[in-house]
Amino acid sequence: MKVKLKDPHELRKLILQNGHSQRSFAEHIKISNPYLSQIVNEERFCSGKIAKQISDGLGVNFADIFFIEDACNCNQTDGSVGNSITY
């Protein structure tokens, strides 16, 4: 399963609304600035733990900014690949 960002623009806006630059927010939630940048630019998926740190740091629910994509092919008979699940 992959944790994906719903809307990078919304995440940037929330970071600013919380009084942070991207760099200061990364420091605040104790992750590296390059890693946060890759998440914001959708170049990298984050773990559930990091997604929780981001959502907690912004004071929002996990499901407000992230969704979980189930990429498992388990028991798929129609040839489709995975499902998107929002929690």
Whether 80 shows a pLDDT value over 60: the answer reads no
- The answer to whether 79 and 14 are in contact (CB under 8 A) is no
What pLDDT score does 72 carry? 65
Query: Does position 77 have pLDDT exceeding 70, yes or no?
Result: no
Confidence of residue 75 (pLDDT cuts 50, 70, 90): low
Share the mean pLDDT of the chain.
88
Question: Which residue(s) pair with 84 in the sheet?
Answer: 69
Q: For the chain, give every domain's residue range.
A: 2-85
Confidence of residue 70 (pLDDT cuts 50, 70, 90): confident
What kind and span of H or E run contains 68? strand 66-70
Q: Which fold has domain 2-85?
A: 434 Repressor (Amino-terminal Domain) (1.10.260)
